[in-house]
Amino acid sequence: GQQVMQIPQYQHVQEGEDFTTYCNSSTTLSNIQWYKQRPGGHPVFLIQLVKSGEVKKQKRLTFQFGEAKKNSSLHITATQTTDVGTYFCADLNDYKLSFGAGTTVTVRA
Amino acid sequence: DTAVSQTPKYLVTQMGNDKSIKCEQNLGHDTMYWYKQDSKKFLKIMFSYNNKELIINETVPNRFSPKSPDKAHLNLHINSLELGDSAVYFCASSPDGEFNYGYTFGSGTRLTVV
């Protein structure tokens, strides 16, 4: 199946700052889903992007699907300690959800 | 009230043993999955069942055998456990044809083989 690459692998953020995590593929993605996994927890669904150029917002989180559907991004503004965790993008193709390696976020208070 | 429940939560066992992990979902979903998460947090799909029928079977050693007695249950049996099987195993489910709500994951089973 397709492989999605996520960067960066680790993100250390000062509380109150913004950051972005990226998801890239060499081939066109069907649907992109984003998940968050808190330390010691399980992946929790955040959002799905389907259309080229789609932008969706959830409070301080902004998700974007590239025009060519080969990349996606998650931007978090005014980072809080509750944002700690690993954020995964995942390609949903042919009923199979294939995850990127994740971006693990730590927050400095 | 738990949507996807897995048991046990922790499993410590010796090499060579056989063990099972159970999963149940009360969401009425048609498809269930097993994922393995390694120590680097990489999540890899192992199996998927749709209405008790196996639809995804990734390159997994045949020591791993899933069983779905009905669409609400998907169990994973592992024979002759090896050190490399140590990981967190997640069960998940999703409804047919409706992916706007994503997959719902269980809380995971942390398997440690010693």
pLDDT at residue B96, rounded to an integer: 76
d(CA A39, CA A59): 22
Taking phi over 0 as left and psi of -120 to 50 as alpha, with beta for the rest, A16 belongs to left
Reported as a single tens digit per residue, the pLDDT across A12-33 is 999 999 999 999 999 999 899 9
Cβ contact (<8 Å) for B42 and A98?
A: no
pLDDT at residue A51, rounded to an integer: 95
pLDDT at residue A40, rounded to an integer: 95
pLDDT at residue A61, rounded to an integer: 98
Rounded to 5 degrees, what angle do the CA atoms A35, B113, B77 make? Answer: 70
pLDDT in tens, chain B (114 residues): 679 999 999 999 999 999 999 999 999 999 999 999 999 999 999 999 988 888 888 878 999 999 999 999 999 999 999 999 999 999 999 987 666 679 999 999 999 999
pLDDT at residue A66, rounded to an integer: 97
Q: How far is B82 from chain A (nearest CA, A)?
A: 23
What mean pLDDT do residues A100-107 have? 96
Cβ contact (<8 Å) for B42 and A104?
A: no
Q: DSSP class of residue B97?
A: T
- The chain B residues in contact with chain A (CB within 8 A) are 31, 33, 40-45, 48, 50, 55-56, 90, 92, 99-108
d(CA B83, CA A68): 42
Reported as a single tens digit per residue, the pLDDT across A67-98 is 999 999 999 999 999 999 999 999 988 778 99
Taking CB atoms and an 8 Å cutoff, what residues of chain B touch A45? 101-104
pLDDT at residue A69, rounded to an integer: 95
Q: For residue A95, what are its two tokens?
A: 């009923």
Closest-approach residue (CA) in chain B for A91: B102
Question: A6, A51, A97, A104: best mutation site toward chain B, by most B Cβ within 10 Å?
Answer: A97
